[in-house]
Amino acid sequence: MAAAFAYVRSGHVAADIGCDHGKLSAALAGSGRCPLVLACDLRPDPLEKARRRCAPYGDAVQCRLGDGLSVVHPGEAEDIIIAGMGAETVIEILEAAPWVFDARYNLVLVPATKHSVLRRWLARRGFALLGETLCQAAGRWYAVMNARYAGTEHEPDGLECLCGQTEGQPGFSAYCAQQNIKLKKYRLGLAPGAEADAVDALIEELEKRACL
C-alpha cells in the first residue's frame, strides 16, 4: 500500500478501483495527498467496509459501487489505482475505458498475478513504465507499477516482460527466482522448437540474476 501511495501524484483526484477495505483510499484522503478519492468496488460488502473506514474524511472520499472504471467519468480522476487483481482483469478494466489512453492519466497498477503479461500489454498498447517498486507480502513478491500513456508501442523482449524495471532493487534476486519458477511451469507445456529454445535461454538468464 505504501508503494502504491507513493506513485499517486499529490493534488490530483484519485480513483481507487477495487478499493476493498478502503485502507489506501483512507490514506490518500486522510493525508491530504488527494483532494478527492473515488473509492470503487464491484462488491457491496467490501465497499461498505471502505465507507466506514473513510467516514472520518467526509466529502474527501466518494464510495461507488460498480464494475471497474464504469463508475468513473473521463477526466473525473487523473490518478487511477488498480490493485490486487490478476493481470487479465487489470487489462480488461483498462481496455473497457479507452479514455485512459491519454498522457494526462497516471496509472498505479499492482497485479496479483502474471506481472509479465501486464508488462507486455502495456508495451504493446503504448504505455510507458515510469517506475516499479518490488514489495513482499505473505512470502510472495509483487511489483507495483507506475505507467502512463506515451503513444509509442513496442514489442518487449522476454526479460523486459519478466523483470521490468525492478533490477537493482532490494529483493530483486528473490523476485527473479519467483519469476523463474513460473517460467519453468510454462516451459513444461511447450513442444520442442524455437519458442522452447527461447524460454530455455530466459530460464538460464533468470537463474544468473537470481544468484546476483
Separation of alpha carbons 212 and 207, rounded Å: 9
Separation of alpha carbons 202 and 212, rounded Å: 16
Separation of alpha carbons 103 and 147, rounded Å: 10
The CATH-assigned architecture of domain 2-154 is 3-Layer(aba) Sandwich (3.40)
Q: In what order do the strands lie in the sheet with 140-149?
A: 61-65, 37-41, 14-17, 79-86, 106-113, 140-149, 127-137
pLDDT at 50: 97
The residues spanned by each domain of the chain are 2-154, 171-212
pLDDT at 133: 97
How much is the CA Rg of the chain, to the nearest whole Å? 18
Provide the phi-psi class of 66: left if phi over 0, else alpha when psi is between -120 and 50, else beta: left
Q: List the grid coordinates of 101.
A: 489512453
Phi/psi at 63 (5° precision): -95, 130
Longest pairwise C-alpha distance within the chain: 60
Closest CA to 134 of 84, 106, 87, 172: 172
Q: pLDDT tens-digit profile of 114-150?
A: 999 999 999 999 999 999 999 998 889 999 999 999 9
Residue 21, classed as helix, strand or coil, is: coil
Per-residue pLDDT of the chain (212 residues; tens, 9 = 90+): 999 999 999 999 999 999 999 999 999 999 999 999 999 999 999 999 999 999 999 999 999 999 999 999 999 999 999 999 999 999 999 999 999 999 999 999 999 999 999 999 999 999 999 999 999 988 899 999 999 999 999 999 999 999 999 999 999 999 999 999 999 999 898 899 999 999 999 999 888 887 75
Residue where the block lists cell 487483481: 85
pTM for the whole thing?
Answer: 0.94
